[in-house]
C-alpha cells in the first residue's frame, strides 16, 4: 500500500472465490423497460465476474450514455458512467494508471460505433487489456428511437422516415480490419452464452469486443427477440471452426441478414496487451508509485540538462 | 550596464533556431542573463524566420526592440530587420551574400562581411556555416570562446568526434577572425564588462544558472509535482511539454500516451485521475475546444485533472506558431452548466514552473479540473534563471482529502459515500480498488453514493456542495503582484505572460515622465476579488495591457470587482509585446484621453 491511497487490488485471477451474484447487487431499481435486452447483459456480466472470481472492488465497469450504459448504476462495482461515446478513452486512462483493475466497458451501438467510433478503431489496434461489451440494439433508444450506425438499410425511424440510406457498420469486420485480437458476438436473449463470451473476453489478454444483439422492445420493432433467434447460429457448431483463422473469421464476420454468427469469431493470443509496451508500468501501477520516487537529487539531475 | 539584442535571421530550414539556441547558451555560460524568443511560421521550409537573443547584466524577462547585432543568413534578413538596428549596430553576414550595403551604412551601422562558408568548407563542409556564423557573432560580441566551444561540443556530440572536431575548428577560426577584423570597431562589444553570473566551472556547467524554456519549466514542475500520467494530441505550441515528459517516461515513471485525438487525451487523463494518478493534458486552444464536454465531466464527477492550454493566435487554426491571450473567457466558461474549476495564468518562467506542481495540488484539494493558461511567448521563450529559482523545496504535493488504505480499512462495508455533503463541499475521496469503498461515478446528477437521481432536494444539495468548493479555493487564490512604485500616476494591469514586457516598460514610461506601476494577476479563477479591489484602491488611472482584441481580462475585472479600467492596450498580431511597444501605446492612450 502506498501513501497514495490506492490499494493494490485485483490480479488477473480474482481473489473472491466465494463470490455470489448478491455481491454485485445494489438497491437501485432499474429504469429499463420490461423485456429490455439490457437485463440480459446485466445478468450475464455479473455471472461472468462471479465465475472468474473477480470481486466488485477489483473491476471497473465504465460506460457511456444511453439506455444500456446505465448498467453501472444497477450493479455494485467500481463504476464510471462517462460521456456519450467516450468510455473507451476513459477506460484506457484507468487501465494505464492502474492495470491491476479489470476494466470493462459497456455502451450502446450509437455510443460505440457512432460518436465513439474513433476510440473504437484505436482501441482495436491499440489492444489494451479492456473488455468491451456493446449493447447493439440497432437504434438510439435513450433518445427515443432514431436510426443508429448499425441500423439496416431501409430502417424507418423519426430521423430516417424514408428508410436509412447508409450501409450499416459491421462492427466485427471493422474490429478485425483494425487489428482487434478478440472478437465475439452474442445475444442478450441467451444470457448463459453471453456470460461465457464475456468471461472469455475478460480472460483474453488484450482488447476484447463482444457485440451483443440486444433487442430494444420499445423502439425497434424490426430486430426483435424472434428476429434474432431465427437467424443466429453458433460458429462452434462447426467443430472445425478455428477462431485463429483470419480468413475464415473475415468471411464469417461478414455474414449478416439471414444467418448471423455468434460465438468467438476471432481470437489470437500472440499480441501482448498495450500496457506491456508502456515503460512506466514495468514497475507496476503508477497509482502506487510514491511521490518521493522523485527526490531532491533526481530533481537536481533533471535541471542539469538546462545548464 | 549591458543590454544587447542579437537577431539571427534566415529562411526556415536554415537552422535559425539551433543557431539561436547555441548562441543563447554560449551567452549564458559566458555569465550573462539571456532572454530569447523565436519567430517562425507554421511551415517546415521556406519563408523568413528569426531568433532574438537579449544579453544583459541583469535579469530580463522580455525581448527588446533595438537590435545591436544582426546575424543575417540571407540577404533578405538585412532588408527585413534593418529598421530595428540601433545606431552603431553591426550586420554580420557571409561575404558571398549580395547584401544591400548602402542603406545600412547610411543608418550609421557597421557591416561585418565574413567568409563564413569558406571557413566552414575549409574545416568541414557547408553545413557548418551556421557554426561559423554563431562563432563570428560570439567573437564580435566578446563572449567566451571556451564557453562557446563547450556548447558546440555538446550540440554535436551525438554525431561523433569527427563532426565535433570539425565544428570546433570552424568555431575557432570564425571567432578569431571576427575578433581581429571587427570587434575593435563594434561599440557594443562586451569586452571589459564583467558578466554578472558566476562562470566558475570551466566546463561551463556552473551548476548555478539555467537556460530554460517556459514549457520545459512547466514540465519540470509537473514532474516534481508527482505527475504520473500525461496524454496529449500534438498541437503547437503545447507539444514540447508532452515531448519532454515522454523523454522522461522511463526515468520518472510517468505513463505517457499520444492519443487518437484531444477528446481521447482528456478522457484518458480523467480516467487516470479517477484511478488515482496525477494526470495532465497539454494542448492549445483548438484542442481545448474538443475537450470542453469532458471538462464538465471532470467537474461533475469531481475527478482531479490538469489541462494546460498553451494559447496561440486564434480563432480556429489562426496563427499556429504565434502568441495570443485570447482564450481567457473561453476557458472560464467552457462546458455546459456550472461547476467549479480553477484557472491559473503564470506569467514568468518561475510561475509557470510553480503552476506545474501547484495545479495538481489544487486539483486534488478541490477535486476539480484545473486549467493552466500559458501562451506561445511564455512557452517557447528561453530565460536565464538562477538554479534555485526552480526549487524542489518549494514543491507541495498535497493530495487533499484522500482516504488512505488504513482509513478505508476502518470503514464498514457500504458506509463510504463518495459525494458526502460536507461544509467545505469537499467529500473525502477513495480510489477504486478497496473492498470497503466500492462506488459509482456518473455524469448525471447523483446522490451522495453516486447514484443517478433528479430529486429536487438532492440536486440542490449536491450542486451547492460542488460550488462551495470554489469559495473554499478562493481563500488560497493570490491577489495581483505589484511591480514598480506603490504610488503611481498610471497602473498597468496585466495577466499571464504580458508581465515580462509590461514590467520592462515601466522605466521607459518613467523616462517619458509617467510614473507607472503594474499589477500582475496569475490566479484567475476563482477570482481573487478582494485582493484585487484592495490593490486597485490607490490606483489613479488604469490601463489593461492584453494580448487580445476585446480586452477579456478588463471585462473579467469589471465583472468581479466593478473596476472599470481607464484604458486598454491590445495587441493581436500574434507577435509578443515588446516593452517599447507597451510604453508608447500607453503614452498614446493616456494622451488621447486627457
Ligand atoms: C454529446 C452528446 N450528444 C447527444 C447525446 C444524446 N444521446 C444520449 S444517448 C444517445 C444515443 C443512444 O444510443 P446508443 O448509444 O445506441 O444507446 P442505447 O440508448 O440504444 O442503449 C444520444 C444521441 C448526448 N448525451 N451527448
Ligand atoms: S428503450 Fe429500448 S433499450 Fe431502452 S430500456 Fe427500453 S427497451 Fe431497453
Ligand atoms: Mg442503441
Q: What is the mean pLDDT of residues A109-129?
A: 98
Can you tell me the mean pLDDT for B295-320?
98
Distances in whole angstroms, Cα of residue B409 to Cα of each of B156, B399, B436 = 56, 19, 7
Among candidate residues A101, A141, A147, A92, the one with its CA nearest the CA of residue A119 = A92
Q: Are strands A130-136 and A102-108 parallel, antiparallel or unpaired?
A: parallel
**pLDDT mean over B70-99:** 96
Q: Is the CB of A194 under 6 A from ligand 1?
A: no
User: In this structure, which long-range contacts are made by residues A84-87, counting pairs with CB atoms below 8 Å and at least 24 apart in sequence?
Assistant: A84/A110, A84/A111, A84/A115, A84/A116, A85/A111, A85/A112, A85/A114, A85/A115, A85/A116, A85/A117, A85/A119, A86/A116, A86/A119, A86/B263, A86/B264, A86/B267, A86/B294, A86/B297, A87/A62, A87/A63, A87/A111, A87/A116
| Interchain CB distance below 8 Å, A286 and B229 | yes
Per-residue confidence (pLDDT) for residue B183, from 0 to 100: 94
Residue A41 beta carbon below 6 angstroms from any ligand 1 atom: no
In this chain, the answer to whether the domains covering B211-394 and B481-592 adopt an identical fold is: yes
Residue closest to A88 by CA, chosen among A111, A72, A71, A66? A111
Confidence of residue B194 (pLDDT cuts 50, 70, 90): confident
Helix and strand totals (H; E) in chain A? 9, 10
Interface test with A, best of B31, B275, B367 (most A CBs within 10 A): B275
Strand intervals (E) in A26-152? 59-63, 78-81, 102-108, 130-136, 139-140, 146-147
Shortest Cα distance from B469 to chain A (angstroms)? 22
In the predicted structure, residue A172 carries a pLDDT above the cut 80 = yes
Peptide bond into B315 cis (omega under 30): yes
CA A113 to chain centre: 12
Q: What angle do CA B383, B387, B392 make, to 5 degrees?
A: 120
- The angle formed by the CA atoms of residues B455, B460 and B464, to the nearest 5 degrees, is 145
Across A31-45, B44-58, B105-119, least confident range: B44-58
Name which of A124-138, B204-218, B266-280, B454-468 the model is least confident about.
B204-218
Predicted local confidence at residue B590, as pLDDT: 82
The mean pLDDT of B29-52, rounded to a whole number, is: 88
What tens digit of pLDDT does each residue of B129-149 get? 999 999 999 999 999 999 999
Which of A125, A123, A70, A133 is closest to A94 using CA atoms? A123
Specify the pLDDT at position A16: 54
Q: Is the pLDDT confidence value at B516 over 50?
A: yes
- CB of residue A148 inside a 6 A radius of ligand 1: yes
Question: Would you say A95 and A101 are in contact if contact means Cβ atoms under 8 Å apart?
Answer: yes
Average pLDDT, chain A: 95
Across chain A, where does the E strand assignment appear? 59-63, 78-81, 102-108, 130-136, 139-140, 146-147, 182-187, 208-213, 232-234, 260-267
What pLDDT shows up at residue B46? 74
Q: Supply the pLDDT for residue A1.
A: 33
**A87 Cβ contact partners less than 8 Å away, ≥ 6 residues apart:** A62, A63, A64, A69, A80, A105, A106, A107, A111, A116
How does pLDDT run across A241-273, given as a tens digit for each residue? 999 999 999 999 999 999 999 999 999 999 999
Question: CA-CA distance, B407 to B571, in Å (whole number)?
Answer: 53
Q: Residue A121: its pLDDT value, please?
A: 98
Strands B3-11 and B48-56: antiparallel
CA dist., res. A239 & res. A75, Å (int): 36
CA A110 – ligand 1 centroid, Å: 6
pLDDT grade, residue B195 (50/70/90)?
confident
A65 contacts in B (CB within 8 Å)? Answer: 443
Give how far B402 is from chain A: nearest CA, Å.
7
The full DSSP string for B126-161 is GGGHHHHHHHHHHHHHT--HHHHHHHHHHHHGGG-H
Reading the block at residue B294, the C-alpha cell is: 469532458
Smallest Cα–Cα separation from B310: which of B576, B497, B499? B497
| CATH number of A159's domain | 3.40.50.970
What number is the average pLDDT over the span B76-80? Answer: 95
Residue B148 φ/ψ region, left for φ over 0, alpha for ψ in the -120 to 50 degree band, beta for the rest: alpha
Between B573 and B414, the more confident residue is B573
User: pLDDT tens-digit profile of A71-112?
Assistant: 999 999 999 999 999 999 999 999 999 999 999 999 999 999
What residues contact residue A68 under an 8 Å CB cut-off, 6+ apart? A38, A41, A106, A107, A108, A135, A137, A141, A214
Which range has the worst mean pLDDT, A108-122, A224-238, B206-220, B558-572?
Answer: B206-220
Q: Domains in chain A: how many in total?
A: 1
Would the CA dihedral through B200, B201, B207, B211 be positive or negative?
Answer: positive
The answer, yes or no, to whether residue B315 has pLDDT greater than 60, is yes
Cβ pair A94:B274 closer than 8 A: yes
Chosen for mutation from A97, A119, A130, A284 (greatest number of chain B CBs closer than 10 Å) is A97
List, as ranges, residues 380-399 from B with C-beta within 8 Å of A.
387, 390, 392-393, 397, 399
Q: Which CATH superfamily is domain B3-207 in?
A: Pyruvate-ferredoxin oxidoreductase, PFOR, domain III (3.40.920.10)
Q: Taking CB atoms and an 8 Å limit, are B260 and A119 in contact across chains?
A: yes
Answer yes or no: is pLDDT of B127 > 50.
yes
Contacts (Cβ under 8 Å, ≥6 apart) of B152: B22, B131, B135, B164, B167, B168, B171
**Does pLDDT of B203 surpass 70?**
no
Residues of B in contact with A83 (CB under 8 A): 267, 293-294, 297, 443
C-beta A141 within 6 A of ligand 1: yes
* Contact by Cβ (8 Å): B235, B287: yes
The pLDDT tens digits for B370-402 are 999 999 999 999 999 999 999 999 999 999 999
Q: Which residues contact B368 (CB under 8 A, 6 or more apart)?
A: B298, B299, B302, B304, B339, B340, B341, B342, B469, B473
Strand partners for B551:
none
Instruction: Give mean pLDDT, residues A146-166.
Output: 98
Q: How many CB atoms lie within 10 A of CB A167?
A: 8
Question: Structurally, what CATH architecture does the domain formed by B481-592 represent?
Answer: 3-Layer(aba) Sandwich (3.40)
pLDDT at B201: 52
Q: In the CATH scheme, what architecture does the domain B211-394 have?
A: 3-Layer(aba) Sandwich (3.40)
Percent of chain B with pLDDT over 70: 98
Task: Please tell me the distance from the alpha carbon of residue B230 to that of residue A272, in angstroms, as a whole number.
Answer: 22
CB-closest option in B254, B271, B406 to A90: B271
Residue A261: C-alpha distances to residues A108, A134, A230, B209 (Å): 20, 16, 12, 68
Q: Is the peptide bond before B237 cis (omega within 30 degrees of 0)?
A: yes
Per-residue confidence band for A9, with pLDDT thresholds at 50, 70 and 90: very low
Could you tell me the residue range of the domain that residue A192 belongs to? 2-306
**At residue A64, does pLDDT exceed 90?**
yes
Q: What is the pLDDT of residue A146?
A: 98
Q: How many CB atoms neighbour CB A42 within 10 A?
A: 23
Q: Residue ranges of the domains in chain B?
A: 3-207, 211-394, 401-476, 481-592
Mean pLDDT of B499-524: 97
Q: Which residue shows C-alpha cell 556552473?
A: B206
The alpha carbon of residue A185 and the mean position of all alpha carbons in its chain are separated, in whole angstroms, by 11
Q: What are phi and psi of A90, to 5 degrees?
A: -60, -45
Q: What confidence score (pLDDT) does residue B433 get?
A: 97
CB contact under 8 A, B432 and A4: no
- Taking 50 as the threshold, does the pLDDT of residue B226 lie above it? yes
Q: How far is the CA of A225 from the centre of ligand 2 (A)?
A: 13
Q: Are B119 and B177 in contact (CB under 8 A)?
A: yes
Amino acid at each position: 500500500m502506498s501513501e497514495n491511497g490506492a490499494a493494490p487490488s485485483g490480479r488477473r485471477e480474482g481473489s473472491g472465490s466465494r463470490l455470489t451474484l448478491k455481491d454485485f447487487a445494489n438497491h437501485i431499481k432499474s429504469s429499463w423497460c420490461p423485456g429490455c435486452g439490457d437485463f440480459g447483459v446485466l445478468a450475464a456480466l455479473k455471472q461472468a465476474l462471479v465465475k472468474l472470481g473477480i470481486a466488485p472492488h477489483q473491476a471497473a465497469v465504465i460506460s457511456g450514455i444511453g439506455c444500456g450504459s446505465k448498467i453501472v448504476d444497477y450493479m455494485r462495482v467500481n463504476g464510471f458512467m462517462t460521456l456519450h461515446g467516450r468510455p473507451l478513452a476513459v477506460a484506457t486512462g484507468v487501465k494505464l494508471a492502474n492495470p491491476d483493475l479489470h476494466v470493462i466497458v459497456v455502451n450502446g451501438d450509437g455510443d460505440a460505433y457512432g460518436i465513439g467510433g474513433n476510440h473504437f478503431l484505436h482501441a482495436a489496434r491499440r489492444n489494451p487489456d479492456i473488455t468491451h461489451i456493446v449493447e447493439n440494439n440497432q437504434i438510439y433508444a435513450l433518445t427515443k428511437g432514431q436510426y443508429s450506425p448499425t441500423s439496416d438499410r431501409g430502417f424507418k425511424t423519426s430521423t430516417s422516415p424514408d428508410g436509412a440510406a447508409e450501409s450499416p457498420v459491421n462492427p466485427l469486420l471493422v474490429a478485425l480490419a483494425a487489428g482487434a485480437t478478440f472478437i465475439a458476438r452474442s445475444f442478450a436473449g441467451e444470457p448463459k452464452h453471453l456470460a461465457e463470451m464475456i468471461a472469455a473476453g475478460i480472460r483474453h489478454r488484450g482488447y476484447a469486443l463482444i457485440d451483443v444483439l440486444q433487442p430494444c422492445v420499445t423502439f425497434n420493432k424490426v430486430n426483435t427477440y424472434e428476429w434474432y433467434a431465427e437467424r443466429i447460429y453458433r460458429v462452434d457448431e462447426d467443430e472445425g471452426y478455428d477462431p485463429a483463422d483470419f480468413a475464415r473469421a473475415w468471411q464469417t464476420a461478414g455474414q449478416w441478414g439471414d444467418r448471423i454468427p455468434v460465438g468467438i469469431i476471432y481470437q489470437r493470443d500472440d499480441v501482448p496487451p498495450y500496457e506491456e509496451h508502456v515503460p512506466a508500468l514495468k514497475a507496476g501501477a503508477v497509482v502506487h508509485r510514491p511521490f518521493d520516487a522523485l527526490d531532491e537529487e533526481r530533481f537536481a539531475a533533471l535541471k542539469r540538462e538546462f545548464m | 550596464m549591458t543590454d544587447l539584442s542579437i537577431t539571427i535571421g534566415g529562411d526556415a530550414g536554415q537552422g535559425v533556431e539551433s543557431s539561436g539556441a547555441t548562441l543563447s547558451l554560449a551567452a549564458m555560460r559566458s555569465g550573462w542573463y539571456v532572454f530569447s524568443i523565436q519567430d517562425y511560421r507554421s511551415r517546415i521550409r521556406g519563408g523568413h524566420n528569426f531568433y532574438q537573443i537579449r544579453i544583459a547584466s541583469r535579469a530580463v524577462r522580455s525581448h527588446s526592440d533595438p537590435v545591436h547585432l544582426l546575424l543575417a543568413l540571407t540577404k533578405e534578413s538585412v532588408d527585413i530587420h534593418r529598421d530595428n538596428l540601433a545606431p552603431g549596430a553591426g550586420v554580420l553576414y557571409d561575404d558571398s551574400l549580395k547584401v544591400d550595403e548602402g542603406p545600412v551604412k547610411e543608418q550609421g551601422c557597421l557591416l561585418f562581411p565574413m567568409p563564413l562558408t569558406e571557413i566552414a568548407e575549409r574545416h568541414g563542409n557547408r553545413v557548418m556555416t551556421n557554426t561559423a556564423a554563431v562563432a563570428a557573432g560570439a567573437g564580435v560580441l566578446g563572449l567566451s570562446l571556451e564557453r562557446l566551444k563547450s556548447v558546440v561540443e555538446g550540440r554535436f556530440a551525438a554525431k561523433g568526434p569527427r563532426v565535433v572536431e570539425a565544428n570546433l575548428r570552424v568555431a575557432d577560426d570564425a571567432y578569431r577572425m571576427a575578433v581581429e577584423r571587427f570587434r575593435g570597431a563594434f561599440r557594443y562589444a562586451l569586452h571589459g564588462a564583467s558578466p554578472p553570473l558566476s562562470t566558475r566551472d570551466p566546463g561551463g556547467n556552473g551548476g548555478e544558472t539555467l537556460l530554460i524554456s517556459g514549457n520545459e519549466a512547466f514540465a519540470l514542475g509537473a514532474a516534481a509535482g508527482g505527475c504520473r500520467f500525461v496524454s496529449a494530441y500534438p498541437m503547437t505550441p503545447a507539444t514540447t511539454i508532452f515531448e519532454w515528459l515522454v523523454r522522461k517516461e522511463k526515468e520518472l515513471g510517468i505513463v505517457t500516451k499520444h492519443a487518437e485525438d484531444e477528446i481521447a487525451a482528456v478522457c484518458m487523463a480523467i480516467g487516470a485521475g479517477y484511478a488515482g494518478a496525477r494526470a495532465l493534458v497539454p494542448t492549445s486552444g483548438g484542442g481545448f475546444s474538443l475537450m470542453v464536454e469532458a471538462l464538465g465531466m471532470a467537474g461533475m464527477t469531481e475527478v482531479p485533472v490538469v489541462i494546460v492550454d498553451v494559447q496561440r493566435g486564434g480563432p480556429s487554426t489562426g496563427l499556429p506558431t504565434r502568441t495570443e491571450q485570447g482564450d481567457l473567457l473561453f476557458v472560464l466558461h467552457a462546458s455546459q452548466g456550472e461547476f467549479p474549476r480553477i484557472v491559473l495564468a503564470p506569467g514568468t518562467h518561475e510561475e509557470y514552473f510553480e503552476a506545474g506542481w501547484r495545479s495538481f495540488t489544487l486539483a486534488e484539494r478541490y477535486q476539480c479540473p484545473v486549467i493552466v493558461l500559458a501562451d506561445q511567448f511564455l512557452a517557447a521563450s528561453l530565460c536565464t534563471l538562477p538554479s534555485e529559482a526552480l526549487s524542489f523545496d518549494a514543491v507541495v504535493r498535497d493530495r487533499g482529502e484522500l482516504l488512505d488504505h488504513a482509513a478505508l480499512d476502518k470503514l464498514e462495508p457500504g458506509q463510504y459515500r463518495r459525494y458526502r455533503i460536507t461544509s467545505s463541499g469537499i467529500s473525502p475521496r477513495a480510489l477504486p480498488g478497496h473492498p470497503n469503498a466500492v462506488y459509482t461515478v456518473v455524469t448525471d446528477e447523483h446522490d451522495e453514493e453516486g447514484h443517478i437521481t433528479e430529486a429536487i432536494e438532492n440536486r440542490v444539495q449536491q450542486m451547492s456542495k460542488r460550488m462551495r468548493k470554489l469559495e473554499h479555493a478562493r481563500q488560497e487564490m493570490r491577489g495581483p503582484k505589484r511591480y514598480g512604485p506603490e504610488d503611481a500616476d498610471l497602473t498597468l494591469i496585466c495577466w499571464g505572460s504580458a508581465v515580462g514586457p509590461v514590467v520592462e516598460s515601466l522605466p521607459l514610461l518613467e523616462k517619458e515622465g509617467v510614473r507607472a506601476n503594474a499589477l500582475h494577476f496569475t490566479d484567475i479563477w476563482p477570482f481573487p476579488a478582494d485582493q484585487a479591489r484592495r490593490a486597485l484602491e490607490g490606483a489613479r488611472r488604469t490601463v489593461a495591457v492584453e494580448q487580445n482584441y476585446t480586452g477579456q481580462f478588463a471585462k473579467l475585472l469589471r465583472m468581479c470587482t466593478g473596476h472599470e479600467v481607464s484604458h486598454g492596450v491590445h495587441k493581436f498580431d500574434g507577435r509578443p509585446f515588446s516593452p517599447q511597444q507597451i510604453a508608447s501605446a500607453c503614452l498614446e492612450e493616456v494622451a488621447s484621453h486627457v
